[in-house]
Structure 1
Amino acid sequence: MISCHPQIRDNKTIIDKQVIHGHVVPGKVLFTRTVQDSKEEFESLAFTDNLKVFISMENVSSFNNEDQYYAKSKTIASDVAHMKGTALARIVKGNIPIKNGVAHLIDRPLMLVATNVLAILQKTAQLSMFYDLIRNHDSGLINVMTVAKSLTIFAPSNEAFKKVNNRQLEQIQLNTENISRLLRLHVVERILTTDELMDRNREPNLQVPTLSKGQSLYFAINSMDPKSPVVTVEGAGVTGTLTTANVIARNGAVHIVDRLLGIPSQTVYEKLATDPILSATFNLSQQEGWNEKLKNRDEQFTLFVPTNDAWAEIRRTMPSAYKKLFMGSFAYHVRNILERHMIANSVFTLEELLSLTTNATVSGKNILQGRLNMTRGKVYFQARVTQSFGDSADENDAQIVLDMKDGNTAEYYTDWNGVRAKVIRPDLKCVNGVVHVIDKVMMMNRDVTVSGSAVPAASGLASLVATFFTVAFARALHH
């Protein structure tokens, strides 16, 4: 048996029999030295028909890289008196032998909620770097966390900070606005648990606005196991995994994340390779090594990348073209289509695309036009579009369209030859560029039509070789 004994300092805390049982693992003797994987969970004594509480232990690093051990309770089924969620407690003295097992002293009770989300950041050693960053640079956010009635914090662990470019983080800290924007990217003004994320997982583009103006978080569930779902969160192009979810406070929840959002460390190539909703475009881009250029950290790229669902639509509506593109022998056509979605040698965030209208020429009613050159064709950036626009017959010409709604919100689109694709995830920043995710592929069936002037690279080479030998053979006969 393992027992965790809390040092109780709050006389107002009510601890009932089930809470006591939630600190005990029956039939197991668990020492801190045996801790390997925090995902290994054990049923506590508080495991009844209506209440189900698991206990686990984990080893985390503190600010000075010293090992610290935590006990964690996870209530996955609750009753009237007990909330669902996770509670963390630091083991202040572990491995105390008792007659029928082992005991660990912890610094606060399990199963009970903290006073507020700020208290969780303050008292959780593995979040000390994130808390210090907020305390030193954004006193306003400290106040928000103290008085707000419903917040969710996606808090990067100390381990997450080890993955960050320190020089870039230091530069951001020099600017008050930039560091505040970075910190508030991790805060949502509502309570958002993994249960809700799982319920909303079928939404095609699950996103939630943050306290950082104009920036949202995007979510994906990679495991639908209600006991232990694997949830990823993306902010400004950085994707992190929730390592400890649903740490409940009286005014919200904290999810511990393994990445600091907002500071990119991946190349555009790595982003495409690791983002599950972009895997189809990545697989296609591998033909003849087209995507190798995207690894270059000294180059710059802006990509409008279709999702897997966008390619699934092509498979439904253009099955023959889809088959040809993905069979691997039509690399010439693949290159043309992908380069229609790319701007080389430049990085344009959504804000920078918007700024292009500042000095643009008014062309038609309520249309501000700015033009960008794609690697293949042109892009027209437009704002407040009330009518279609485009006077070019070039099939590689595309348009980025801004539709204003209710005077204060906007939706962004690419428009190529009538193929209108919505920008569903803008500004996925990488070390060598930016990715904007779109929900359609800018292509038509004729893009993959085999003709005398448009043939796959492999068959074109074969034809050239055959022609050479035919001519040589004819000349030999002539002589």
Structure 2
Amino acid sequence: MKKYFPIKAGLLALGLFAATGCAKNKEVEPSITNIAVTNPDFQELEDAAIRGDVAVLLGNKNPNDPQGNYTVFAPTNAAFSRLGLNTAQDLAVLQQSFLQNTLYYHVYSGSLPGSALTSGSTSNSALGVTRRIIRRTDGTLYVNGSQIVGTDVKAANGLIHPIDKVLLATKADVLNSALALQSGSVFVKPELTFLVEAVVYCNLQDALKATPGSAPLTVFAPTDQAFKDLGVLLGVPLNQPSDIRKLPVATVTAVLLNHVVGGTQGGKFTPELPENTSVASAGGAPVALGAFKSGVITVKGSGNTVPANMVIPDVQCTNGVVHVIDRVLLPL
């Protein structure tokens, strides 16, 4: 694991250290916010914390913990870059409320040391949604689909565990998570609009809702561009969501069910999916999974010549996990 060393310099980052609290020439252990400010590996996390209005929170003691501690799974700059977020300006593509909730999902109230991150264990988050720890056979450790690349960076108000992907959760089931993207509640620009239109057209809303006793799902969700590319392949222009209705409902239904996996492979994050094998989709056709590389897996339908890539993997929903992909999976 890469070592992340906090800079103990007594800096007045974001004005979170009061001058009266620091003895002259005395080294001061920085807060979680200060570490983000002073460590270049966390520049984008600093920008996100400021825009998401959590910088002050993580710069102070936790009032809900006897020791005043938080534990933060901290995405590095490279983690944000995987989502195309490389500068403070890039964060403007996300709704501020969603960004704040995303940051809360990285925070645990109290101390959660590296020794407690055991395979299969879970922990609550400030968002109220749990995360789980996964250890692969090669020994690498993950929280959901994000690799833990360092542990136990000490701060004055807790601990930091650097991770290589941003953790994502919606506090909604798969259907309502898609609706949130479609309505622009996540990205400022609506996304998954074709997928939502197709689900409504085929009357499959109930299949993606969370119901009492329902098993978790793994859902591969094609982007809008993926559907537009499918239209070019089929020779049926799909320029807007309503154009999906040019296709036979039975055909669209079969295609949609090819993107849903349940049973023993339902609710799986990328490190848990069985690489280099096939899994059965809800429609009965197999979906081929490629090798696990750089935290993602390619996905291919029987009717595809080229596999789909995960563009936004590991989105935690209340009834499963969604992986946004760049190609529609065809069953035949």
- In the alignment, which residue of structure 1 is the partner of 2:146? none
One of 148, 157, 167 as aligned partner of 2:53: 157
- In the alignment, which residue of structure 2 is the partner of 1:290? 204
Counterparts in 2 of 1:157 and 1:340: CA distance versus 1, 3 Å: same
- In the alignment, which residue of structure 2 is the partner of 1:268? 174
- In the alignment, which residue of structure 1 is the partner of 2:162? none
| Aligned partners of 1:116 and 1:146 also within 8 Å | no
Counterparts in 2 of 1:121 and 1:440: CA distance versus 1, 3 Å: farther
Asked if 1:399 corresponds to 2:288, the answer is yes
TM-score, scaled relative to structure 2: 0.52
1: distance between equivalents of 2:85 and 2:53?
19
| Aligned partners of 1:422 and 1:439 also within 8 Å | yes
- In the alignment, which residue of structure 1 is the partner of 2:72? 180
Shift of 1:430: 0.9
2: distance between equivalents of 1:149 and 1:231?
23
One of 11, 16, 36 as aligned partner of 1:145: 36
| Aligned partners of 2:228 and 2:237 also within 8 Å | no
| AA matched with 1:272 | A
- In the alignment, which residue of structure 1 is the partner of 2:99? 240
| Aligned partners of 1:325 and 1:333 also within 8 Å | no
**Structure 2 counterparts to residues 350-365 of structure 1, below 5 A:** 350-353=270-273, 356=274
Alignment deviations for residues 211-244 of structure 1 (CA, whole Å, 9 cap, x no partner): xxxx9545599xxxx9x9943179xxx94379xx
Q: Secondary structure at the match of 1:348?
A: coil
One of 231, 238, 249 as aligned partner of 2:93: 231
2: distance between equivalents of 1:278 and 1:428?
14
**Structure 2 counterparts to residues 24-173 of structure 1, below 5 A:** 119-120=13-14, 122=16, 141=32, 144-145=35-36, 147-149=38-40, 151-152=43-44, 153=46, 154-155=48-49, 156-157=52-53
Q: Secondary structure at the match of 1:145?
A: helix
**Structure 2 counterparts to residues 372-391 of structure 1, below 5 A:** 372-377=279-284
1: distance between equivalents of 2:175 and 2:34?
40
- In the alignment, which residue of structure 2 is the partner of 1:423? 310
Q: Which runs of 5+ in 1 are unaligned?
A: 1-114, 124-137, 162-169, 171-175, 190-207, 243-258, 358-367, 378-395, 448-479
| AA matched with 2:301 | W
Instruction: Identify the structure with bigger relative contact order (alpha carbons < 8 Å, sequence gap 6+).
Output: 2
Q: Secondary structure at the match of 2:256?
A: helix
Asked if 1:348 corresponds to 2:237, the answer is no
Percent identity at matched positions?
18
Counterparts in 2 of 1:179 and 1:373: CA distance versus 1, 3 Å: farther
- In the alignment, which residue of structure 1 is the partner of 2:159? none
Asked if 1:209 corresponds to 2:61, the answer is no
Asked if 1:317 corresponds to 2:239, the answer is no
Q: Secondary structure at the match of 1:412?
A: strand
1: distance between equivalents of 2:195 and 2:210?
18
As a proportion of its length, which structure holds more strand? 1
Q: Secondary structure at the match of 1:277?
A: coil
- In the alignment, which residue of structure 1 is the partner of 2:152? none
Alpha-carbon RMSD? 4.4
Counterparts in 2 of 1:117 and 1:290: CA distance versus 1, 3 Å: farther
Counterparts in 2 of 1:148 and 1:284: CA distance versus 1, 3 Å: same
Q: Secondary structure at the match of 1:334?
A: helix
Q: Secondary structure at the match of 2:283?
A: coil
Aligned residues: 217
Shift of 1:302: 1.1
- In the alignment, which residue of structure 2 is the partner of 1:381? none
2: distance between equivalents of 1:320 and 1:273?
25
One of 196, 206, 219 as aligned partner of 1:303: 219
| Aligned partners of 2:202 and 2:252 also within 8 Å | no
Shift of 1:309: 0.8
Q: Considering only CA atoms, is the larger Rg found in Structure 1 or Structure 2?
A: 1
